[in-house]
Amino acid sequence: MLQNFLFPAYHNFGLSIMLLFARIAFGAMFLTHGLQKLANFKALSANFPSIMGLGSTLSLMLAIFAEVFCTLGFITGFLYRLSMIPMIITMIVAVLFIHGEDPFSAKELAMLYLFIFIIMYVLGPGSFAADYFFAVKG
């Protein structure tokens, strides 16, 4: 059961192609946010929003972890669903805490990513993913 959840096997070629395209497209767009944060770490760490009392630096590190390292897992399909959990949590935090009081237009992008990531989480990575090879061998 856990293996099927972590490493789902797909047999639909068309769906797998679409999932691969979605992983690359949305992952590349999301990755740019994390790379910007990583490149400006020193400047951002002083004034990045502190979430739930974690402090600015730790909050920034968690955002970078989700937006860079987990996104690479999302794109490649490696530990796909596990890597998506921090990505989804980051977008929930962005919608509810970072942009909670902002107008809809300010939180629209975070909401869009959140909905896409939830849909992609449910669908799984497809057969053109690193996890697929674990499913086939398992």
Cα(105)–Cα(18) distance, integer angstroms: 28
Tallying the residues shown for the chain, one arrives at 138
Say if residues 84 and 120 touch (Cβ distance below 8 Å): yes
Cα(12)–Cα(68) distance, integer angstroms: 29
Say if residues 44 and 60 touch (Cβ distance below 8 Å): yes
Q: What is the pTM of this model?
A: 0.88
Q: What is the mean pLDDT of residues 42-47?
A: 91
Please tell me the predicted confidence (pLDDT) of residue 131.
Answer: 85
Please tell me the predicted confidence (pLDDT) of residue 53.
Answer: 85
Residue 3 pLDDT exceeds 90: no
